[in-house]
Structure 1
Amino acid sequence: MKLVIKDLTKTYKNGVKAIDHLNLEIGTGMFGLLGPNGAGKSSLMRTIATLQKPDSGTITFGDINVLEDNMALRKILGYLPQSFGVYPKMSAEALLDYFATLKGIHSKTERQALIKEVLEITNLYEMRKKYVAGYSGGMKQRFGIAQLLLNNPKLIIVDEPTAGLDPAERHRFLNVLREVGTNCTVIFSTHIVEDVKELCNDMAILNGGRILKQATPTQARLELKNRIWTKTIDRDDLEAHEAQFNVLSSNYNEDNSLNIRVFNAVQPSAEFIAVEPQLDDVYFIALKTDEPVAAL
């Protein structure tokens, strides 16, 4: 099933245009929606999840007209918002049983089998008797995935799920998401480029409520082949190089010098060395131009 968004707009009462004539098509698999904080990612996720209405535009998922038939989508939707709820003093097992009942699974035997399955998928089965309120941040996020799997969703939306997780928790969470995202459409909203590089088979870069670029991570990097250059400079020379070259990023060396990465169609000068493009380069180029990017 394909999610198709056409000419979607949303302006809030304070005048902020969160979604600006946005067009996007998303197929089966892991789709990364990449953008800085305030880019409009959460607004788009809430709109797709039928939690708010747009001013104009259309959204379809397969044969479902999302904006006209909210309930049809909700039956096959799994949604994990950026902040997932306040947990009562209940075990994971008991809380999932409650959620499953709300989702219309009335057979106790069926609920027990389903709860065991989703706890095993999310690696929480051994912790099923513990209060969810006492879980670590990563465990709570995995619990969020467990609850959204209860209705066997065809469309899964996760909004900034790895923000605030330590590296080990982030790794475990991404592994769980990778496993559940093989047979459905998963939209993974994040500002962390590394998450998209590790997880997604397709991606788009969003800023100002507009899609700046859509491509596979591999394709996006290949488009920059022989156009990314690096040079080591003194940190005091950074400002001068930024004025002269299209500097995308810089990082410190042990001796406090800087490696800069520059985007240019040809070698900027003899001191520059060609390097393999990274997804970060794609991201920074899109944000620096801040307009839709065609194939380079």
Structure 2
Amino acid sequence: MKLSLSNISKTYKNGVKALDDVSIEIESGMFGLLGPNGAGKSTLMRTIATLQAPDTGTAYLDDIDILNDKNSLREVLGYLPQSFGVYPKMSAEDLLHYFARLKGIADKNQRTQMVNTALEVTNLLEVRRKSVAGYSGGMKQRFGIAQLLLNDPKLIIVDEPTAGLDPSERHRFLNVLREIGTNHIVIFSTHIVDDVKELCTDMSIMNGGRILSHHTPEQAVSALEGQMWTKNIERDALEEHEAKFNVISSSFNQDNTLNIRVHDNQKPDDSFEAKSPELEDVYFVTLREEKEVVAA
């Protein structure tokens, strides 16, 4: 199965160009769409989910014309938006049966089997009789996945699903996505680099409504081999180093000094040490290069 987007553009009435000639092909597996807030990720997700139309472009899921045959796409789509809304005071089990009936699953035995499978996959079986309104944030997100699994979707879209989750909830939620990602196209939109590093077999970095790169995480990291350098400095020396070197990130050490990471094809000077690249470096380098191109 393949999702193919060609020349997708969208400009809002206020003049903001949310999507700028987006073209990409995504195949089965976990695909991470990584970018800062305001990069256009949610607009692209809503466009693929047929919730808004682009100004130009084409979009196909295999032979389904997404933009002109929305109903066929929705039959095989599972979509978890950034905010899933308010839940009534119903148990997870009863609410999933309700959603299943809305999706046209009339046979009670079939519905029960599908509901139980969804609850089991999302690790909610033991709390199926509790009110969803009383679930934690992570449990609500997993319930969101459970409801979208009811129609056995071929394409699953999740938009910023781990935002606001504590570390344990985030870990459980990512495990659920990893479980279902082997047999579906799962598009995982996020601004959290670690989510993509832990989860995805393919990824793109997006900003300014444009796809800036498309690689596997391993390919992206490998491309920076021999180009990352690090050094510990005093806090008040950061501005000086930013003016002299291509500093892409900095972090505090325990002694309140700063560790800076510099991108350069050769060692900046003898005070720097070589460091193996990480996916976070790829993210910052890509955004920095895009900023320089725009400024030029």
Which residue number corresponds to residue 20 of structure 2? 20
The answer to whether structure 1 residue 257 and structure 2 residue 261 are counterparts is: no
Question: Which 4+ runs in 1 deviate beyond 2 A?
Answer: none
CA distance in 1, matches of 2:192, 2:292: 20
Identity %: 67
Amino acid at match of 1:286: T
Give the drift of 1:292: 11
Partner of 1:89, secondary structure, is coil
The answer to whether structure 1 residue 167 and structure 2 residue 167 are counterparts is: yes
Q: Provide Cα deviations, 1:31-78, integer angstroms capped at 9, x if missing partner.
A: 000000000000000000000000000000111110010011100000
CA distance in 1, matches of 2:123, 2:280: 31
Amino acid at match of 1:87: Y
Amino acid at match of 2:167: P
Amino acid at match of 1:73: L
User: Number of residue pairs matched?
Assistant: 293
Q: 1:212·1:291 contact (CA, 8 Å) conserved in 2?
A: no
Which residue number corresponds to residue 91 of structure 2? 91
Give the drift of 1:290: 1.4
CA distance in 2, matches of 1:241, 1:216: 32
Q: Structure 1 length normalisation: TM-score?
A: 0.98
CA distance in 2, matches of 1:254, 1:186: 39
Amino acid at match of 2:150: L
CA distance in 2, matches of 1:161, 1:151: 20
Partner of 1:57, secondary structure, is strand
CA distance in 1, matches of 2:132, 2:183: 28
Q: 1:213·1:292 contact (CA, 8 Å) conserved in 2?
A: no
The answer to whether structure 1 residue 133 and structure 2 residue 137 are counterparts is: no
Which residue number corresponds to residue 100 of structure 2? 100
Which residue number corresponds to residue 223 of structure 1? 223
Q: Provide Cα deviations, 1:95-122, integer angstroms capped at 9, x if missing partner.
A: 1001000111000111011101110110
Q: Provide Cα deviations, 1:201-254, integer angstroms capped at 9, x if missing partner.
A: 000000010011110000000000000000111111000000000001111111
CA distance in 1, matches of 2:156, 2:60: 15
The answer to whether structure 1 residue 284 and structure 2 residue 279 are counterparts is: no
CA distance in 1, matches of 2:58, 2:115: 35
CA distance in 2, matches of 1:137, 1:212: 32
CA distance in 2, matches of 1:89, 1:278: 44
CA distance in 2, matches of 1:290, 1:131: 46
Amino acid at match of 2:78: G
CA distance in 2, matches of 1:148, 1:138: 16
Q: Compute the RMSD of aligned alpha carbons.
A: 1.1
CA distance in 2, matches of 1:291, 1:178: 33
CA distance in 1, matches of 2:292, 2:111: 47
Give the drift of 1:85: 1.9
Amino acid at match of 1:41: K
Give the drift of 1:291: 6.5
CA distance in 2, matches of 1:278, 1:179: 25
What does 1:160-239 align with in structure 2 at a 5 Å threshold? 160-239=160-239
CA distance in 2, matches of 1:35, 1:278: 16
CA distance in 2, matches of 1:236, 1:275: 23
CA distance in 2, matches of 1:243, 1:216: 32
* Cα 1:65–1:208 shift into 2, 3 Å: same
Q: Provide Cα deviations, 1:163-187, integer angstroms capped at 9, x if missing partner.
A: 0000000000000000011011000
CA distance in 1, matches of 2:118, 2:22: 34
Give the drift of 1:129: 0.7
Unaligned 5+ runs, structure 1: none
* Cα 1:91–1:160 shift into 2, 3 Å: same
Amino acid at match of 2:10: K
What does 1:24-173 align with in structure 2 at a 5 Å threshold? 24-173=24-173
Amino acid at match of 1:189: S
Amino acid at match of 1:26: I
Partner of 1:290, secondary structure, is helix
* Cα 1:49–1:126 shift into 2, 3 Å: same
